Amino acid sequence: MNSPFFSICIPQYNRTSFLLRVLESLNTQTFRNFEICISDDCSTDGREQEIINYLQETALKFEYSKTEKNIRYDKNLRRAIGLANGRYCFLLGNDDMLAGPETLAQLHAVMRSHNFPEVVVTNYQEITTGLTYRRMQFTGVLGSGARTAANNFRNFSFVSGLIFDRELARKHETDQWDVAAFYQTYLGTRILASGCRLLAVSDVVILKDVQIPGEQVDTYRAWPVLKNCPIIERPLNLAPIGRLAFAAVERYVDRRERERIARRIFGQLLMFTYPPWLFEYRRIQSWRYAAGICLGMRPKNLLKNAAFGMVTRIYLKLLHAFVSLAGLCIPLWIFFRFKPWLHQFAKRAKY
CB atoms inside a 10 Å sphere around CB 303: 19
141: left (phi over 0), alpha (psi -120 to 50) or beta: beta
Q: In this structure, are residues 195 and 145 in contact, taking their beta carbons and an 8 Å threshold?
A: yes
pLDDT at 92: 98
Q: What is the pLDDT of residues 217-231, one digit of tens each?
A: 777 777 788 988 999
Strands 6-12 and 97-98 turn out to be unpaired
Identify the H or E element spanning 34.
strand 34-40
In order along its 351 residues, the chain shows pLDDT tens digits of 468 999 999 999 999 999 999 999 999 999 999 999 999 999 999 999 999 999 999 989 999 999 999 999 999 999 999 999 999 999 999 999 999 999 999 999 999 999 999 999 999 999 999 989 999 999 999 999 999 999 999 999 999 999 999 999 999 999 999 988 999 999 999 999 999 999 999 999 999 999 999 888 777 777 788 988 999 999 888 999 999 999 999 999 998 899 999 999 999 999 999 999 999 999 999 999 999 999 999 999 999 888 899 999 999 999 999 999 999 999 999 999 998 888 888 877 655
Burial class (CB in 10 A: 0-12, 13-18, 19+), 175: exposed
The whole-model pTM stands at: 0.94
pLDDT at 306: 85
d(CA 5, CA 7): 7
Q: Which residues on adjacent β-strands are paired with residue 63?
A: 37
DSSP secondary structure letter of residue 195: T
DSSP secondary structure letter of residue 153: G
CB atoms inside a 10 Å sphere around CB 201: 22
Angle between helices 258-268 and 310-329 in degrees, nearest 10: 10
Helix (H/G/I), strand (E/B), else coil: 137: coil
286: left (phi over 0), alpha (psi -120 to 50) or beta: beta
pLDDT at 351: 54
CB atoms inside a 10 Å sphere around CB 186: 24
DSSP secondary structure letter of residue 272: I
CB neighbour burial string for 239-278, b if at least 16 within 10 angstroms, e if fewer: bbbbbbbbbbbeebbeeeebbebbbbbbbbbbebbbbbbb
pLDDT at 350: 58
Q: What are the two backbone dihedrals, phi and then psi, of residue 82, each rounded to the nearest 5 degrees? A: -65, -20
Q: Which CATH architecture has domain 6-208?
A: Alpha-Beta Complex (3.90)
pLDDT at 347: 77
